A and B are shown apart, each in its own frame.
Chain A
C-alpha cells in the first residue's frame, strides 16, 4: 500500500527516498509495507481505516549529522517527519505520526549511553537507549545510582520524557521531563543547538545547571514539534542503602482530606517516594446498600457500611528511601504526622530491605497486607511485566478496549478535589451516556507528579469492536474531554487522534497559548516539516489537517 506524504508527488517522494538512502544507507530506509508495519499503532482506534496514521516510510540514522541531513532533505522536498526514540508510546499513539504519510525518523540506532556519573548523579544518553539498556549499563559497571523507570521498561528516557512521562520513585525523579538536565537538538533548519550550559563551549556543568543564561527553550521540545532531540542529560537518584514501605489506613470517607494533607507534607519535605492511594471499599461494590449510598454520595452511610464490613475507607502505601535508620525514622515520623491529623489512622509495617535488592525482593510482595504497589518500578528496575496485565494486539483485536487509551485528567492535590472529581466524573459519565451503575467513590488519584494528582476520567468503553463502534467510542472520549474541561480538568497527554481536542481546551484568553506556540512553530519551522500536528500545533503548511481526525 503506497502512502505518500500529503502534497508530495510519487516521483518527488521517490527522489527524496533515494536521497535519504545516500545519507543512512539502503538498509536503513524502510518503505515496504512489512517494514513500515512496526510504525503503525497497534492500539489505534482507527486501525485499518482510511485515515489511520500510517507513515509513508521510516529512516534510521545512527548519528547527529545524519539527522541533520534528513531534516535538510525533508525541507527540500517538503516532507513531514515524525521523530521517535524507542517508539513504544502505546496508549498515546505508539510510534505512529500525527500526519498520515509522514516519514518516521526512528532514532533507535543512536543508542549510546554517553555518560553515567555516580558521584554527581546524572546520565547522558542518546534517544535509542531504553530504560532497560540504561539499567543494564549501570548494573554491569556497579555504578551507585538508580534510574526512575516508567512501567514498561522498553521505552527510553528521551522518548518518555519528551511526552512528559512519569515514574515511581522520589518526586523529583519521577517527573521525567522535570528531571532532565541539558539537551542537544537538531532544529528544523538542520542546525544543532544545545540548551542550558551546553550552549557554553567547554562548559563543565551541562548536565547540572539546566537554565544556562536567558530564556530556556527546553520546554518547547517536550510534547512539542520544534526539534529532534539527539542527546539528553537526566538526574539520577543516588543508590539508597535501604528501601522501606508502610501502609496507612483511615476509617472515614472524610478522612481523605487530612490524609492527603499529611502525605503532601511528607512528600514535599522529600521524605517519601510515590504514595499509592487506594480504597478497600471496592470490595463492597456489589452490595446494593453500598451502591445506593454511593449514588447519593451519602458519606455517613458509606462510613457505617465500611465500619460494619470492618474496612477502612482509604489507604495509602508509603515508601521511604535512605538508610535503615532514616527510613525507620521517616516511617515513624509519617505515623506521627498522620496521627496528628487523623487520630483514628492505623499503620502496618511493610517491607524493609537493604540495597542492593535481591531478585525476589524486586519481584515479590512480601508485605503483610495486599499491596497495589509494583515493586520493581518503585525500586527503579525496568521490566515488561505490565504487559501481562493488559494488552491489545493484532492477533487479538477483539480485546481492543481492555486497555486504556490514556486519558488522565489533572485534579487538585487535595481530598476535597478528589471527592469533587468523583462526583464530576460520574455526572459526566451520565451526560455522555456511559453505562455506569455508580460513581467511582472509591477511585483515588495517582501522584505520579509530586505536585499534582491525576485521575482516570472514568471511561468504560462499550465492547463494540466494529469500526463504527470505535468511532462512537472516540466520540464519547471527545465528549468526556469537553465536559472535563468545562469543569476545569485538562489531560496531561493524549494520543494523536485526541491531541487537537485536548489542545483546544487549553483555551485561556482566546487560545493565546496555542497561538503563541503556532507563531513560534511557523517562525522556526517555516516548511512545517517536524511532527506537524503534535500537541495540536499545526504549522501553516499543514493547517488544513487541523481537526481532520474528528471527522
Chain B
C-alpha cells in the first residue's frame, strides 16, 4: 500500500534531478487522510514517470500511460471510471495534460489537491507530479 506521503516522496526520490523550492506538503489539507490512489496517469515519454509507474503498478494501482495528449485514453478508459464515482488519482505528466485532466476531473467532483513541478535536466518540458482527490461530500 502506498500512502499519499509515500506517493509524493517516492516520486520525488525517483525524480532524482528535481529541485524543490517549496515544501511538498505545504497544503493545509496535508493532515487530512487521503486514500491510496486508484489510478496513476503518467506521460510514458519520461523515464521518471515510467519509473514511478513501476512502483505504482507493483502496489496495485491501475496505470494509464499517455504520450502528451490525454485524448486517446479519455473516452475509453478514464471517463467510464470517473462516471462511477470520484476517486484519488495520482499522476506525473506535463502541465498541459494536467490542465486538461484537472478541468475534466472538476466535472466529476474531483479537485487538484496538490501539484509539484519537477525541473528536469535537459530543458525538456517540465513534468508535474500531482494528486487529484474527490471534493468534500455535501453537507445537508
Chain A residues proximal to chain B, CB less than 8 Å: 26-27, 32, 34-35, 37-38, 42, 88, 108, 132, 136, 153-154, 383-385, 387-388, 391, 393-396
Residues of chain B within 8 A (CB-CB) of A132 are: 74-75
Q: How far is the CB of A22 from chain B (nearest CB, A)?
A: 12
A26 touches B70 (CB 8 A): no
Cα distance, A394 to B103, chains bound together (Å): 11
**CA A529 – CA B102 in complex, angstroms?**
31
The CA of A32 and the CA of B109, in the complex, are separated in Å by 12
Q: Among the listed stretches B20-28, B45-53, B57-65, B92-100, which one makes contact with chain A, having 4 or more residues with CB under 8 Å of it?
A: B92-100
Q: Are A391 and B135 in contact (CB-based, < 8 A)?
A: no
The closest CB in chain A to the CB of B130 belongs to A395
* CB-based nearest A residue for B126: A396
Which residue in chain B gives the minimum CB-CB distance to A95?
A: B106
Partner of A395, one of B95, B100, B104, B136: B95
A154 to B79 Cα, complex, angstroms? 12
Q: State whether B136 touches A391 (Cβ < 8 A).
A: no
Cβ A395 vs Cβ B111 within 8 A: no
B117 & A26 in contact (Cβ 8 Å cutoff): no
A385 cross-chain contacts in B, Cβ below 8 A: 69, 71
Bound Cα distance A75, B123 (Å): 56
How far apart are the CA atoms of A42 and B94 in the complex, in Å?
Answer: 18
25 contacts between A and B (CB under 8 A): A26-B138, A26-B140, A27-B138, A32-B136, A34-B136, A38-B106, A38-B107, A108-B107, A132-B75, A154-B103, A383-B69, A384-B74, A384-B100, A385-B69, A387-B99, A387-B100, A388-B69, A388-B94, A391-B95, A393-B98, A393-B102, A395-B98, A395-B99, A395-B115, A396-B95
Interface residues of B, Cβ cutoff 8 Å to A: 68-71, 74-75, 94-100, 102-104, 106-107, 111-112, 115, 117, 128, 135-136, 138, 140
In the complex, how many angstroms separate the beta carbon of A287 from the nearest chain B beta carbon? Answer: 27
Known: A388-B94, A395-B112. 10 other contacts (CB 8 A): A32-B136, A35-B135, A42-B99, A42-B103, A88-B103, A132-B75, A154-B103, A384-B71, A393-B99, A394-B112
Judge whether B75 and A136 touch: CB under 8 Å: yes
CA A34 – CA B29 in complex, angstroms? Answer: 12
Q: Which residues of A contact B94 (CB under 8 A)?
A: 388
Q: Are B71 and A395 in contact (CB under 8 A)?
A: no
Return the contact of A34 from the options B69, B70, B111, B117 (Cβ within 8 A): B111
- What's the nearest-Cβ distance from chain A to residue B62, in Å? 21
The CB with the most chain A CB atoms within 10 A, among B71, B75, B106, is that of: B71
Least CB distance, B136 to chain A, in whole angstroms: 7
Known: A395-B95, A395-B117, A396-B95. A388 touches B68 (CB 8 A): yes
- Counted as pairs of residues, one from A and one from B, with CB atoms less than 8 Å apart, the total is 58
For A108, the chain B residues whose CB sits under 8 A away are 107
Contacts of B115 in A (CB 8 A): 395
Question: Are A391 and B69 touching (Cβ within 8 A)?
Answer: no
Taking CB atoms, residues of chain A closer than 8 Å to B135 are 34-35
A25 to chain B, nearest CB (A): 9
Q: Which residue of A lies closest to B117 (CB)?
A: A395
Bound Cα distance from A136 to B77, whole angstroms = 13
What B residues does A34 contact at CB under 8 A? 111, 135-136
Which single residue of chain A is at the shortest CB-CB distance from B29?
A: A34
What's the Cα separation between A396 and B130 when bound, in Å? 14
**Separation in Å of the B70 CB from the closest CB of chain A?**
6
- B69 / chain A contacts, CB cutoff of 8 Å: 383-385, 388
CB A360 to nearest CB in B, in angstroms, measures 12
**Chain B CB within 10 A, most for which of A132, A153, A396:** A396
B111: chain A residues at CB < 8 Å are 34, 37-38
User: A154 — nearest CB in chain B belongs to which residue?
Assistant: B104
Give the distance to chain A from B119, nearest Cβ to Cβ, in Å: 13
Residues of B within 8 A of A395 (CB): 95, 98-99, 112, 115, 117, 128
Least Cβ distance of A407 to chain B in Å? 22
**How far apart are the CA atoms of A153 and B75 in the complex, in Å?**
11
Contacts of A396 in B (CB 8 A): 95
- Chain B residue nearest to A132 (CB atoms) is B75
- Chain B neighbourhood of A37, CB < 8 A: 106, 111
Q: Once bound together, how far apart are the Cα atoms of A387 and B69, in whole Å?
A: 8
Query: Which chain B residue has the least Cβ–Cβ distance from A136?
Result: B75
Nearest CB in chain A: distance from B104 CB, A: 7
Task: Quote the shortest CB–CB distance from A312 to chain B (angstroms).
Answer: 32
A358, chain B: closest CB distance, angstroms: 14
A153 to B74, CA, bound (A): 11
CB closest residue in chain B, given A39: B106
* CB <8 Å contact, A384 and B70: yes
Task: Select from chain A the residue with minimum beta-carbon distance to B102.
Answer: A393
Q: From A384, which residue of chain B is reached at the shortest CB distance?
A: B71
Q: In the complex, which of the residues B68, B104, B135 has the most CB atoms of chain A within 10 Å of its own CB atom?
A: B135
A42 to B104, CA, bound (A): 13
